[in-house]
């Protein structure tokens, strides 16, 4: 059996917080795959259903984020599950909005819900990291995480939750890469544009609108003096005086 855990904080006050995107994803999965109604169990809300032909359980801990491991651990002990049977969905600051990544094990990355689950259940479970973006300043992280999604975020958030729910059977079958590829393809064109790096300098345009002409390399076998004579303005040789006499001798002209 697969235990799918969505992380968040209970109560209407937190319902639209970025920190509650795990709850949102869990609800989307339950709707998409016709899970039964949520009921109170294991210090959380639980819904039963099937994914990929196998039984699955969705759990939304109601212990508040920092104590999520208590609810998850209780459910795992009841069903005698191992970390390999556990899948956790949660918000990730280090991913841009609309991006999703799956990994097994690793550190908590400063996420208190994950830290709690690690302590109660071990670390070798799969984590579905849902990008919410970083505010850019460490001092603003708490307000960003516990702040509500903006109305404009709905343009990518709703399609993302649907994409996660639709592709969930792939995760149930252990096809993590296929899951990420499907979500990514679905989200193309819906993810917020990111700031691009400055483009490299381009050649200045000529007056005619094209690129400015570049100097041609020196031709092989010709000196710079020869090229200067060839490319520079034509200067008539002197016909009288000492220089004229010398040129006549050098060039063999009488």
Positions annotated as catalytic residues are 19
What are residue 31's phi and psi, to 5 degrees?
-65, -45
Strand order in the sheet with 86-92: 39-41, 44-51, 54-61, 2-6, 86-92, 126-131, 100-104
Token duo for residue 6: 């969505």
CA atoms within 13 A on the CB side of 164: 31
Structure tokens at 9: 């904080």
Give, in order, the Cα–Cα distances in Å from 45 to each of 24, 40, 68. 13, 5, 12
């Amino acid at each position: 059996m697969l235990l799918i855990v969505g992380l968040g904080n209970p109560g209407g006050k937190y319902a639209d917080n970025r920190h509650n995107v795990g709850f949102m994803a869990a609800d989307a999965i339950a709707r998409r795959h016709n899970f039964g109604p949520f009921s109170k169990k294991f210090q959380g809300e639980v819904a039963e259903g099937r994914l990929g032909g196998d039984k699955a359980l969705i759990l939304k801990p109601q212990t508040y984020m920092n104590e999520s491991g208590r609810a998850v651990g209780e459910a795992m002990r009841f069903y005698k599950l191992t970390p390999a049977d556990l899948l956790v969905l949660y918000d990730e600051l280090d991913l841009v909005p609309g991006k999703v990544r799956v990994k097994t094990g690793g550190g908590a990355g400063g996420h208190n819900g994950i830290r709690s689950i690690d302590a109660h259940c071990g670390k070798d479970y799969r984590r579905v990291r849902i990008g919410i973006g970083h505010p850019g300043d460490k001092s603003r992280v708490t307000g960003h995480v516990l702040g509500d999604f903006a109305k404009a975020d709905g343009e990518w958030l709703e399609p993302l939750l649907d994409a996660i729910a639709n592709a969930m059977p792939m995760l149930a079958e252990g096809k993590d890469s296929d899951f990420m590829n499907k979500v990514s393809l679905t989200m193309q064109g819906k993810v917020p544009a990111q700031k691009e790096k400055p483009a490299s300098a381009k050649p200045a345009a000529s007056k005619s609108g094209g690129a400015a002409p570049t100097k041609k390399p020196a031709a092989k076998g010709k000196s710079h003096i020869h090229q200067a004579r060839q490319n520079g303005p034509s200067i008539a040789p002197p016909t009288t005086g000492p220089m004229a006499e010398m040129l006549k001798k050098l060039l063999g002209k009488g």
